[in-house]
Amino acid sequence: MIRYNVSLKRMISRIAGVAVLCLFTLPTFAQDFLAEQTPVARKLADMDSLIFNKQITKERMEYPAMDIYPDWQDTRVHAYGNVKIPANYVVDLSDFCMPTTHTRITDSFGYRRWRRRMHYGLDVKVYTGDTIRSAFSGKVRMVRYERRGYGRYIVIRHDNGLETIYGHLSKQIVKENQYVEAGTPIGLGGSTGRSTGSHLHFEVRFLGMAINPASLFDFKKQDIVASTYTIKPSTSPKARYYKVRSGDSLSRIASRQGVSIKRLCDLNHISTRTILRIGMVLKCS
Ligand SMILES: [Zn+2]
């Protein structure tokens, strides 16, 4: 933003300079002078806006959504845990491409009771070798392999502020820091990492906060749900789930999370006698 402001200021001061020149330096022939100068001034302004647009494109290529994210880094997928989510931020989804032409959802987003953990993405049935495409335009932030998790995966930061993650790929065909358009093939479907059977694990995040991809993409209809999506920080899974730490008890968690012990038990299908294990995730609302 700072660099935009500098460019803007420079642009305004140049236009103001031309205006001041027109008004004060040649008062006698002001009319003629203005008439003659108008095309020149317009040319100058056009040139300025051209430079300005080039600058925006250059910065966009360097660092998409630079006004939202604190930095650009390639060491961690979930690197923005401490950043405050701006409420009611409107994300433009209009320039999109479905990551796959397949329509069958094999696992939804949300809490998996039997595993006591969150599933932060949507699983879509794809076959090994199927083309996976970038959902929006943006820049590839990570191309990595995680044996026990995502398998071969790709993280892309988009110009609209979202980040998307594509997991369990058999092949990655883009490089880190590569700029992609919506629809650019980025990899091939597979079953690498923690996966049973080929599928695409697709995550949508905003500043690290997982969003249910089904609120944005309708895989059955192969379309977006709406042209925009408004970020609601309260939808953060962080707010609704609690990871048991050493020394925790049901009553302590209940009082700290602002829920009754009975509600906590009902939500998690446990009883007051259930032994809490460290790392166990409890649903709190
Ligand atoms: Zn998954």
CATH number for 139:
2.70.70.10
> Does residue 71 lie in a domain region?
no
Q: Which residue has the tokens 């032409």?
A: 101
**How many domains are there within the chain?**
3
Does 254 fall in a domain? yes
Residues 6+ apart with CB under 8 A from 262: none
- Tell me, yes or no, whether 229 and 242 share the same domain: no
* Least confident stretch, 86-95, 164-173, 232-241, 246-255: 232-241
Ligand 1 centre and the CA of 226: distance in Å? 23
Mean pLDDT computed over 253-271: 83
For 64, 69, 105, 231, 235, the CA distances from 87, given in Å and listed in that order, are: 20, 15, 29, 6, 11
Task: Mean pLDDT check: name the lowest of 182-191, 233-242, 260-269.
Answer: 233-242
Structural domain includes residue 118: yes
Calculate what percentage of the chain has a pLDDT beyond 70. 79
- Judge if 251 and 273 occupy the same domain: yes
Residues with CB under 5 A from ligand 1 (ion): 121, 123, 201
Burial label for 191, CB within 10 Å (0-12, 13-18, 19+), is middle
pTM, two decimals, is: 0.66
Question: Is residue 72 assigned to a domain?
Answer: no
Residue 51 C-alpha to ligand 1 middle, in angstroms? Answer: 44
Residue 74 lies in a domain: no
Among 13-22, 135-144, 204-213, name the one with the lowest average pLDDT: 13-22
Contact (Cβ atoms closer than 8 angstroms) between residue 176 and residue 93: no
- Report how far ligand 1's centroid is from the alpha carbon of 173 (Å): 21
Domain that holds residue 33: 2-62
CA of 57 to the centre of ligand 1 (A): 34
Task: Give me ligand 1 centre to Cα 133, in Å.
Answer: 17
Cα of 202 from ligand 1 centre, angstroms: 7
Residue 199 in domain: yes
Claim to verify: residue 212 and residue 97 sit in the same structural domain: yes
CA 83 to ligand 1 center in whole angstroms: 25
Residue 75 lies in a domain: no
